[in-house]
Structures are given as C-alpha cells and as structure tokens.
Amino acid sequence: MSSTEVRAAMPGEGACMRTFMDEIFRAFRRPEQRRWAQAYLWALIHASGKKTPRRMALTKPLPPAAAHGLHQFINASPWDWNPVRHRLTGLVAERTAPHAWTVAELIIPKRGEHSVGVHRRVDPATGRTVNCQRALVFFLVSGGRSYPVGWSLLLDRTWDSDRERRRRARIPGSEAGRTPADHVTGYAAEIAAQPRLPRVPWVLDLTRCPEAAGVLAGLARQRADVVCEVPPDHHVLSAGAHSPVVTGVSALMETRHARQTHVLLGRAPDGRVRAVPVHTYAGTVTTPRSAHGDDGGGRAYRVLERPDPDGRQPSRYWLTTLTEHRVEEILRLARSHTSALSAVAVLGQRFGVLDFEGRSFPGWHHHMTMASAAYVHQRLYPGPGSGPGSGPGAGAGAGAGAGAGAATASPGAPTRRVPAAALTGASH
C-alpha cells in the first residue's frame, strides 16, 4: 500500500506532533519518505510489545499491509540518519537548558550470527559469555533528564577482518578498527563543529575503560570540559620536588597534606540528612602520555575523592577540568551519567532499541534514530495520547539513584532487563 494511504489512516496527533515531525524529518526530500517516517514514529510511540514492523503494523488504525512499507523504510530506503539526528539534537538544545553530554553503553542480546555487529563477549557484570550487539548511546542532559541524540555500533575484530560479511551488512570502510574511545572522541569532534550546540562538559564513567587516557586526550584536543569518574589506579602526573611524578589517583590522595576536605549534606536511604565528606587534591594534576603518545596538551585537572558514607564500598574518584567550580556543582554534574542509564532502560522497554531484526548497518542506525526521535518527542511533548509511559517524570532519570533497569515497562507488557553500563572500552 502507499505511504499516502498509511498517513491518511493515522489519527491526528495535534499541532505538537505535526510540528515535531515537520522539523525532524525536513531533511527527507521525497514526500513518501516523510510519510513513512511519520508512520514509523507514530507506531513506535503507540505500539505495545516488540517494536518490529509486523507488530507495529497491528497497531490500530494502521492496516497490517503497512508492515512491508515500514520494513522497507528502515532496511532499504537510502536515507541519511545524520541530518535527522542533528535536527533532533538542535531541538533538544533549543527547548531545554542542557548542562552536560554523556555516554552509556547498551548491550543488545541476540540469537544467531547474522545481525550486524553481533559477537560473543564476556559480560563484566555476570562473568557469563553472551551473544550480543554493543552500542554507545550519546545523550544531551538537562535537569534530571537525558535525551538520546546519537548512536554508535561497536564492531569487534571478527567484523573488522571479514570483508564479505561487512559487504553483506553494508558497513562502510570508515567503521573498521574503531575503538569505543574513537567513537566518543569522534562524536565530540562532530559536536564541536556545530556552533549552535552548547559547549557543556562531558560527563563520563571511565572506571572500566582501558582507553581512559585516550578518551581524556581526545576530549582535551577539542578543549572540552570534562567530569570523568576514573578507577583508583588511574595514572596522573603530580608536581614532585624535582620533576612530575606518575601515580594513581588513590595513592595521590593518601599523600601527606595532599587533600582538602569538604563536608556536604546528603540524604540517606532512610530519609535522614547526614554529613558526607568529599576530598579534593590540594593542587592540580596533568595526564601522562596515552598509548598513542598524546599527553592531552598538559591540561590541568582537579581530583575529587568521595568515600563511601558507610565505609562498605571503595572510594570513588573523579578528574575534572572545572578547577574553579564548587565541589557540589561537580558532583551534581557527575550524576548526569546516572540519568542516562535510566534513559537506556526506557529506550529498551518502551521504544524498541532491543527489537531491531534487520541485518544491515544502515537499517540498524535508521531504527535507532527513529527510537531516539520517539523518546525525545515523548519527553518534550508529554500529554494525553502520547503513548505508554509518557508524562512528566516518566522514566528518564527522575531520581538520582535510578540505575539501569530501574524504569518499569508499559502497562500490560512484560518487564525486560536492559543491560546498560559505563563505557567499558574493551572492544576486542
């Protein structure tokens, strides 16, 4: 059936959705592409269960015959996803007050070996080997909400070396050999090249990222501010008596007279207010050269240490270029990553990021772009008829303590665990 017939079958969604669709899909030159894009977005928002073309076409009043057109729009139509994402990012920046960029990793369990990017890896959380796709989701954060505006699919060595497999999946040559650090710093460079987007800090969890030094060096090249959680043994250069000394951040903070203590007020799980000590290094540090010989231009970082209030867990450490900011402001920024983990859970449970069944690289990016658009629409324009789980405070980081899997599924749908994590960086 034609896209015109499908569009005519869809009920009116009011001025907000029409305005949103006109803005986001303006890059499509062909009216037929715009109509299928609108139908796919509408079905992502309103369909229950798995978000596959066949299941989405069962959503009233779409006719079942629309399944073929929805499938073709995602898997065969040659549209560029980047302009759609750029418009989505610009819209979020205009309608909110962004204060950070952040990244979360998404693990997508898969059966079989034919889905693009699928490979076997050990899940760091469970120690079990899983068959999966790995993705990085890039978020623009405002208040307690994280808005997904960019995606990267991580490919392991088995995909880098198999030319025939890459050809079948339509993977561009530029994707070969890219590490998670390459994806993060490349996206940061892309963002920096867009003058209308906000120059806000990057908030990252690098505690399990072997390439943490490379990530910091790459962001330093962009002159981007950072608030990055790092492992206790992360190496920094501190000023020594005769020359800079390489040391881990935890060892640095144990040096005599090295730290200053700030006492903040926090709320315990039982609701009581208690004093929370936070330590900062008395001076600033720089970073040693990365594996690629990059030292980050000698950029100065401040070190923060937050002991566990109950003394049951190890201390946590952050490096930040915001050397003049108050400690509580830096820790408030650090919580941006937590809201991103909650948003990843909602993307999987309500907007179908676990459900793509195609085998091509463009199809995967098309589906993820549309899922982002559906998520952003529901957060910017909540209201009656907006679909399951919409409304103020739904899902995306409503609480600072929310984590991956904290959000609930839509009414009547089974709860699905969405594996999300810090940037691990172990791509091979």
Q: What mean pLDDT is predicted for residues 154-158?
A: 91
Give the confidence band of 258 by pLDDT, cuts at 50, 70, 90: confident
> How buried is residue 206: exposed, middle or buried, by Cβ count under 10 Å (0-12/13-18/19+)?
buried
pLDDT at 422: 60
pLDDT at 112: 83
Provide DSSP, 93-106: HHHS---EEEEEEE
Q: Distance (Å, rounded) from C-alpha 346 to C-alpha 329?
A: 27
Q: Which amino acid would we find at residue 356? A: F
Q: Is the pLDDT of residue 153 over 60?
A: yes
Q: Is the pLDDT of residue 271 over 60?
A: yes
Q: Distance (Å, rounded) from C-alpha 71 to C-alpha 53?
A: 6
Q: What mean pLDDT is predicted for residues 221-226?
A: 93
pLDDT more than 90, % of the chain? 57
pLDDT digits (tens, 9 = 90+) for 365-389: 999 999 999 999 999 987 644 443 3
Give the confidence band of 291 by pLDDT, cuts at 50, 70, 90: low
> How buried is residue 45: exposed, middle or buried, by Cβ count under 10 Å (0-12/13-18/19+)?
buried
Contact predicate 153/172, CB 8 Å: no
Q: Is the pLDDT of residue 37 over 90?
A: yes
Up-side HSE of residue 137: CA atoms within 13 Å toward CB?
A: 34
Q: What mean pLDDT is predicted for residues 212-234?
A: 94
Structure tokens at 63: 């006719």
pLDDT at 394: 37
Q: Distance (Å, rounded) from C-alpha 210 to C-alpha 423?
A: 10
Contact predicate 124/105, CB 8 Å: no
Give the confidence band of 414 by pLDDT, cuts at 50, 70, 90: very low
Contact predicate 290/212, CB 8 Å: no
Superfamily of domain 81-378: Transposase Inhibitor Protein From Tn5; Chain A, domain 1 (3.90.350.10)
Q: What mean pLDDT is predicted for residues 286-301?
A: 73
Per-residue exposure over 381-396, b if at least 16 CB sit within 10 Å of its own CB, e if not: bbeeebbbbbeeebbb
Q: Is the pLDDT of residue 402 over 50?
A: no
Provide DSSP, 323-376: TTS-HHHHHHHHTHHHHHHHHHHHHHHHS-TT------HHHHHHHHHHHHHHHH
Phi, psi of 102 (to 5 degrees): -150, 170
Q: What is the mean pLDDT of the chain?
A: 83
Cis peptide bond upstream of 98, omega within 30: no
Q: End-to-end alpha-carbon separation of the chain, Å?
A: 44
Contact predicate 234/319, CB 8 Å: yes
pLDDT at 404: 30
Q: Distance (Å, rounded) from C-alpha 215 to C-alpha 182?
A: 8
Q: Which amino acid would we find at residue 160? A: D
pLDDT at 119: 93
Q: Is the dihedral of CA 186, 331, 380, 64 positive or negative?
A: positive
pLDDT digits (tens, 9 = 90+) for 167-199: 999 999 999 889 999 999 999 999 999 888 989
Q: What mean pLDDT is predicted for residues 268-292?
A: 81
Contact predicate 169/155, CB 8 Å: no
pLDDT digits (tens, 9 = 90+) for 53-98: 999 999 878 888 899 999 999 999 999 999 999 999 999 999 999 9
Q: Is the pLDDT of residue 322 over 60?
A: yes
Q: What mean pLDDT is predicted for residues 419-423?
A: 59
Q: Distance (Å, rounded) from C-alpha 177 to C-alpha 8?
A: 45
- Domain parsing of the chain, residue ranges: 3-76, 81-378
Q: How do 145-154 and 226-230 pair as beta strands? A: unpaired
Q: Is the pLDDT of residue 149 over 80?
A: yes
pLDDT at 27: 84
Contact predicate 371/387, CB 8 Å: no
* Alpha-carbon distances of 26 from 76, 88, 262, rounded to whole Å: 20, 11, 50
Residue 123 makes CB contacts below 8 A (sequence gap 6+) with 107, 129, 130, 419
Q: Distance (Å, rounded) from C-alpha 225 to C-alpha 231?
A: 19
- Residue 301's DSSP bridge partners are 285
pLDDT at 13: 58
pLDDT more than 70, % of the chain? 83
